[in-house]
């Protein structure tokens, strides 16, 4: 049907006019009102966190119940999607962003560090990542104010302060943790599905001029912390069982704690659209590190997981130029502007631009995450 049939059933948080935000499941162009249908107060919460904290056995049980209700015509409270407002689906605990695409890491290495090897020596030994800012993860549709910060273009002797001139996107896939883990206890790759509840789309907005000046030696900071957008529907891992593929061959072989027996690469097709025109189609199957390896690495030092932790894959870029997941790559640092159907060209984002990332596996849709650029505050 629409990408939201019985084989998908993603969870989100919605409200009807005058009603409180509560948990819903998308079915076609309708939203199943879970609190009203199952008479379970877990789903009356304004976030998925209480349900996600209950763990995999409960997630499976509820998915079976919902499937039974929607296929067997049992009493269900459904609202037309057009009549509801969608909210942040869960409360983000900690937020981590990885860097798991070899193509993206190579492209950015070439542009940011033209005088050294594009991949740093650690890159094929561990999934490189950084901790982001969970408080600025925003729901799809939130306007993105152009950030202001320190900029130092090449050839300019000292930095100045002003609105970013190189505002960009990053097409990413997000993984949402349900079951927490104990401090001091690493989570092995084989326990990925016990902890991760589901998958969504992420746009890691990035101000390339701020980033290029600030990032050495501690990594991304204000160039990325102003906003990160999230899609409204969290697709359960169960809906993606058939999407699983092996990652590309990993050479050198990763250390034992990063080896995965069951493959958790995902054959998702993503798309990046600017003002309604698709400009790129990044293939998630090309990602070098799997989300199970990312989780094992994230906890290898004993760092604990909390319900609502979000970790993103890093920008998804495939091998061909029309598969790149950011404008800095698509326009090669602004040197090769994109031509748009209205005859205009684009390097980085302009005020008023609207960006939409969508994704799917077969007829299982991840929906979309969208955002429009608002002028800088003055």
Ligand X SMILES: O=C(O)/C=C/C(=O)CC(=O)CC(=O)O
Q: Residue number with the shortest CB distance to ligand X? A: 314
Query: From the CB of 373, what's the least distance to Mg ion, in Å?
Result: 14
Query: From the CB of 221, what's the least distance to ligand X, in Å?
Result: 11
Kindly state the number of chain residues that form the binding site for Mg ion, as judged by CB under 5 A.
Answer: 3
Question: Among residues 12, 188, 220, 371, which is the contact residue for ligand X, using CB under 6 A?
Answer: 220
- Give the whole-angstrom CA distance, residue 349 versus residue 167: 5
* Residue 52 touching ligand X (CB under 6 A): no
Q: Catalytic pick from 79, 87, 104, 297? A: 104
Query: From the CB of 163, what's the least distance to ligand X, in Å?
Result: 19
Active site residue 104: yes
Contact partner at residue 195 from Mg ion, Ca ion, ligand X, none, CB < 5 to 8 Å by partner kind: none
Q: Which of the stretches 128-136, 169-177, 180-188, 242-250 binds Ca ion when contact is defined by CB under 5 A?
A: 169-177
- Give the whole-angstrom CA distance, residue 101 versus residue 290: 10
Which residues have CB under 8 Å from 276's CB, separation 6+? 354, 356
Question: Among residues 22, 26, 104, 224, which is the contact residue for Mg ion, using CB under 5 A?
Answer: 224
Contact partner at residue 228 from Mg ion, ligand X, Ca ion, none, CB < 5 to 8 Å by partner kind: Mg ion
- Give the whole-angstrom CA distance, residue 294 versus residue 174: 11
Query: From the CB of 104, what's the least distance to Ca ion, in Å?
Result: 9
* Residue 260 touching Mg ion (CB under 5 A): no
Site for ligand X in 165-184 (CB under 6 A): 170, 172
* Cβ closest to ligand X, residue 108 vs residue 243: 108
* Residue 204 touching Ca ion (CB under 5 A): yes
Torsional class of 38: left (φ above 0), alpha (ψ -120 to 50), beta (otherwise) = alpha
* Residue 97 touching Ca ion (CB under 5 A): yes
Put the strands of the sheet holding 144-145 in their side by side order.
144-145, 364-374, 354-361, 269-274, 277-280
* Cβ closest to Ca ion, residue 49 vs residue 326: 326
Site for ligand X in 105-134 (CB under 6 A): 108-109, 112
Question: Encoding tokens for residue 20?
Answer: 């409180």
Question: Among residues 30, 142, 181, 228, which is the contact residue for Mg ion, using CB under 5 A?
Answer: 228
* Residue 204 touching ligand X (CB under 6 A): yes
Q: Which of the stretches 21-29, 168-176, 316-324, 336-344 binds Ca ion when contact is defined by CB under 5 A?
A: 168-176
* Residue 214 touching Ca ion (CB under 5 A): no
Q: Is 99 annotated as a binding residue?
A: yes
- Give the whole-angstrom CA distance, residue 308 versus residue 135: 12
In Å, the largest CA–CA distance within the chain is: 70
Binding site for Ca ion (CB under 5 A): 97, 170, 204
Q: Which residues are annotated as a binding site for Mg(2+)?
A: 204, 224, 228
**Residues recognised as catalytic:** 104
Q: Which residues are annotated as a binding site?
A: 97, 99, 113, 170, 172, 204, 211, 215, 224, 228, 315
Q: Which residues are annotated as a binding site for Ca(2+)?
A: 97, 170, 172, 204
Binding site for ligand X (CB under 6 A): 97, 99, 104, 108-109, 112, 170, 172, 204, 206, 215, 220, 224, 314-315
């Amino acid at each position: 049907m629409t990408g939201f049939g019985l084989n998908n059933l993603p969870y989100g948080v919605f409200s009807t006019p005058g009603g409180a935000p509560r948990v819903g499941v998308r079915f076609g162009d309708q939203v199943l009102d879970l609190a009203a249908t199952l008479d379970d107060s877990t789903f009356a919460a304004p976030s998925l966190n209480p349900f996600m904290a209950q763990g995999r056995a409960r997630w499976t049980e509820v998915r079976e119940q919902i499937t039974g209700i929607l296929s067997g015509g049992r009493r269900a409270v459904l609202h037309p999607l057009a009549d509801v407002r969608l909210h942040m689906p869960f409360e983000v605990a900690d937020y981590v962003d990885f860097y798991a695409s070899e193509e993206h890491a190579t492209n950015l290495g070439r542009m940011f560090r033209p005088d050294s090897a594009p991949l740093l020596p650690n890159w094929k030994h561990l999934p490189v990542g950084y901790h982001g800012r969970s408080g600025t993860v925003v729901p799809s549709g939130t306007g993105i104010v152009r950030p202001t910060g320190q900029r130092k273009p090449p050839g300019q002797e000292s930095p100045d302060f002003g609105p970013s001139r190189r505002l960009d996107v990053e097409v990413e896939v997000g993984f949402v943790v349900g079951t927490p883990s104990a401090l001091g206890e690493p989570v092995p790759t084989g326990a990925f599905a016990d902890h991760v509840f589901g998958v969504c789309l992420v746009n890691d907005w990035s101000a390339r001029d701020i980033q290029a000046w600030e990032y050495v030696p501690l990594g991304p900071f204000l160039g990325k912390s102003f906003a990160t957008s999230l899609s409204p529907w969290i697709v359960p891992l169960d809906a993606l069982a058939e999407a699983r593929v092996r990652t590309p061959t990993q050479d050198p072989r990763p250390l034992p704690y990063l080896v995965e027996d069951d493959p958790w690469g995902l054959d998702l097709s993503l798309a990046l659209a600017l003002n309604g025109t698709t400009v790129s189609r990044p293939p998630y199957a090309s990602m070098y590190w799997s989300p199970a390896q990312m989780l094992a690495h994230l906890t290898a030092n004993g760092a604990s997981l909390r319900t609502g932790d979000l970790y993103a894959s890093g920008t998804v870029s495939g091998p061909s130029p029309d598969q790149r997941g950011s404008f800095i790559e698509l326009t090669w640092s602004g040197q090769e502007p994109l031509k748009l159907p209205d005859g205009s060209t684009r390097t980085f984002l302009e005020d008023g631009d609207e960006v939409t990332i969508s994704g799917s596996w077969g007829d299982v849709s991840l929906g979309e995450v969208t955002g429009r650029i608002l002028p800088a505050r003055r």
